[in-house]
């Protein structure tokens, strides 16, 4: 038996909920791919701006600083990238940053509002590696090393552009936790290169938007974790705890000797666990009834054996000490009677045990009750002759019962035999058969003294027998109070019922109800 501890079901539910929570984390990690695409798109936009400016300058031959400055002025600071024009020696001729601050986009945020400064972002940024460089291979060298004023611009991308090739570089932005993209485009004229256009732009705004998305995903992730924990706790309370209670009740159901000492308490829940608890409660109730039946049966058998055995013992003792031959014969007759009674008792007990063990496994068929009852009554007519009459009413009723013919005949034979035992000479035993809906109803009536009201249920108990004093039968065939008990066991084994009542004119009536075969 597992010791009480952490609920395994609760842990599994938590693991399942946490697994679902990690779906937003997958989206969080996928943002790195989108970041690469956004940076590539920003670089393409920068290159397009640089090419347009280079094309405008190429129409004028050698670059005139005034013309370059005029073109940048006409742009009216509409571009967000920084545009610079250099001559073949790298000398700066025009710079858009000297025209004043660039127009900010509508979604630009005030300086200092960086999502990475929030505690939540800093808490989990190390786990998800969100604060690393936006692009691998970024140069850590200071920008001033290549673009120190007032000297010429000596960046590798400028050198590539002055050589007639496209140049690009990515560097860490000074004073920011972002990168700056550099793109250099040559300005061709008359088959040569008369200068270059350098376009540079920080990724700060782009990364700020990505950081906002990441922070929102982190918030959703933590909220989902909290909800998953709460749901797992609720599930553990509503599932694991009731199952643990059922486990505890099952462990306490039996004592060390294997005897029932309690039952399941059941549940009022309307889910599967409630159904399981109620099924276990019903099972324990039936086991308790079965255990009580076995204990009472053993006590009743012991009591039933006690009187015959005591009579045999007394008769044997007197037989040894009595010289009178007549008395010795009488004692021997007593011994023989009690031995016969014990044999009959054992035979009947074996029959009860066989009914209890084999009733469910016996082969069944659709038994026509009319034919079965007609055969039983014919046998009783031959047995009793003209002393009693046996009448069958409704024998042609089309009622069939799914049962074993021999076992069902035994049940009705006991009822008819009981009625014949109480019926006065010259009277009749009447058997009626009718069908009510899906049930076949058989009544067995006699014209005897009836049954005392206090014994209407007790007559079905094992070893209980009631008869008027004038009708007490002696000898080895004396009634032992098992016939009606056997009949009720058979009828109830087939899903029916057996009840007794008194008829107003006089006499007892036994009513059998059995489900009809389909």
pLDDT grade for 504, boundaries at 50, 70 and 90 = confident
pLDDT grade for 510, boundaries at 50, 70 and 90 = very high
- Two structure tokens written together for 69: 């400055």
Rg (CA), the chain: 52
Put simply, whether the predicted model's pTM sits higher than 0.75 gets the answer no
309 lies in the same domain as 388: no
- Per-residue pLDDT at 476 exceeds 50: no
351 lies in the same domain as 415: no
> The domain spanning residue 93 has which CATH number?
3.30.450.20
Cβ(506)–Cβ(445) below 8 Å: no
Residue predicted with more confidence, 123 or 280: 280
Q: What residues make up the domain containing 415?
A: 361-518
Residue 162: inside a domain:
yes
What are φ and ψ of residue 139, in 5° steps?
Answer: -80, 135
403-420 as b/e, with b when 16 or more CB fall inside 10 Å? bbbebbbbbbbbbbbbbb
The rounded distance, in Å, linking the Cα atoms of 328 and 314 is 12
Share of the chain above pLDDT 90, in %: 13
62 lies in the same domain as 82: yes
21 lies in the same domain as 96: yes
Question: Residues 352-391: pLDDT tens digits?
Answer: 677 666 666 677 889 999 999 999 999 999 998 889 999 9
84 lies in the same domain as 194: yes
- Per-residue pLDDT at 30 exceeds 80: no
pLDDT grade for 106, boundaries at 50, 70 and 90 = very low
Residue 142: inside a domain:
yes
Cβ(70)–Cβ(63) below 8 Å: no
Distances (CA, A) of 410 to 133, 304, 398, 403, 490: 94, 23, 21, 12, 9
Indicate the DSSP class of residue 143: G
Domain count, the chain: 3
Residue 233: inside a domain:
no
Residue 479: inside a domain:
yes
Kindly state the greatest CA–CA separation across the chain. 162
Cβ(199)–Cβ(49) below 8 Å: yes
The string of DSSP codes covering 151-186 is S----HHHHHHHTTS-EEEEEEPTTSSSEEEEEEEE
pLDDT grade for 120, boundaries at 50, 70 and 90 = low
Pairing of strands 428-436, 497-502: unpaired
Mean pLDDT (whole number) for 316-331 = 82
137 lies in the same domain as 35: yes
- Per-residue pLDDT at 131 exceeds 50: no
Please say which residue of 333, 358, 383 terminates a domain.
358
- Long-range contact set of residues 222-231: C-beta below 8 Å, sequence gap at least 24: 222/120, 224/20, 224/21, 224/24, 225/18, 225/21, 227/17, 228/14, 228/17, 228/18, 228/20, 228/21, 229/14, 229/17, 231/13, 231/17
Question: CB neighbours of 91 closer than 8 A, spacing ≥ 6?
Answer: 152, 153
Question: Residues 390-412: pLDDT tens digits?
Answer: 999 986 778 899 998 888 998 99
Which residues are bridge partners to 509 per DSSP? 445, 501
- Two structure tokens written together for 345: 């008792």
Please say which residue of 199, 221, 243 terminates a domain.
221
């Amino acid at each position: 038996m597992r010791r009480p501890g952490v609920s395994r079901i609760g842990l599994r539910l938590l693991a399942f909920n946490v697994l679902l929570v990690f779906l937003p984390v997958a989206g969080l990690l996928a943002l790195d791919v989108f970041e690469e695409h956004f940076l590539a798109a920003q670089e393409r936009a920068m290159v397009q701006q640089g090419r347009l400016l280079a094309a405008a300058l190429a129409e004028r031959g050698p670059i005139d600083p005034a013309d370059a400055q005029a073109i940048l002025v006409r742009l009216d600071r509409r571009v967000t990238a920084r545009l610079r024009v250099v001559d073949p020696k790298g000398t700066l001729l025009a710079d858009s940053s000297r025209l004043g601050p660039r127009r900010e986009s509508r979604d630009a945020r005030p300086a200092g509002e960086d999502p990475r400064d929030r505690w939540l972002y800093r808490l989990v940024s190390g786990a998800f590696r969100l604060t690393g460089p936006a692009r691998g291979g970024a140069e850590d060298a200071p920008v001033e090393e290549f673009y120190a004023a007032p000297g010429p611009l000596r960046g590798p991308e400028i050198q590539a552009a002055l050589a007639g090739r496209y140049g690009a570089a990515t560097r860490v932005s000074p004073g920011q936790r972002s990168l700056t993209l550099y793109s250099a485009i040559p300005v061709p004229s008359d088959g040569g290169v008369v200068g270059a256009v350098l376009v540079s732009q920080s990724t700060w705004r782009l990364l700020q938007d990505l950081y906002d998305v990441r922070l929102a995903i982190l918030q959703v992730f933590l909220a989902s974790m909290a909800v998953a924990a709460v749901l797992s706790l609720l599930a553990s309370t509503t599932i694991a705890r009731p199952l643990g209670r059922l486990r505890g009740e099952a462990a306490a159901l039996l004592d060390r000797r294997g005897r029932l000492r309690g039952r399941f308490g059941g549940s009022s829940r309307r889910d599967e666990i409630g159904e399981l608890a109620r099924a276990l409660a019903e099972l324990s109730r039936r086991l308790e009834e079965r255990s009580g039946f076995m204990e009472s049966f053993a006590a009743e058998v012991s009591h039933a054996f006690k009187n015959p055995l005591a009579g045999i013992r007394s008769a044997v003792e007197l037989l040894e000490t009595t010289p009178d031959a007549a008395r010795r014969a009488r004692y021997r007759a007593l011994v023989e009677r009690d031995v016969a009674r014990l044999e009959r008792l054992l035979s009947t007990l074996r029959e009860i045990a066989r009914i209890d063990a084999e009733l469910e496994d016996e082969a069944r068929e659709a038994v026509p009750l009319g034919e079965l009852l007609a055969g039983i009554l014919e046998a009783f007519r031959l047995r009793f002759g003209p002393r009693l009459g046996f009448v069958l009413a409704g024998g042609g009723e089309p009622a069939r019962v799914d049962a074993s013919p021999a076992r069902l005949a035994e049940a009705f034979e006991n009822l008819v035999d009981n009625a014949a035992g109480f019926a006065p000479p010259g009277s009749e035993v009447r058997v009626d058969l009718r069908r009510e809906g899906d049930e076949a109803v058989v009544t067995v009536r006699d014209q005897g003294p009836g049954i005392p009201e206090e014994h209407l249920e007790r007559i079905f108990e094992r070893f209980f027998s009631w008869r008027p004093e004038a009708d007490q039968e002696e000898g080895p065939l004396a009634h032992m109070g098992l016939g009606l008990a056997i009949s009720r066991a058979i009828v109830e084994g087939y899903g029916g019922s057996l009840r007794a009542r008194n008829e107003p004119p006089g006499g007892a009536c036994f009513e059998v109800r059995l489900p009809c075969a389909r």
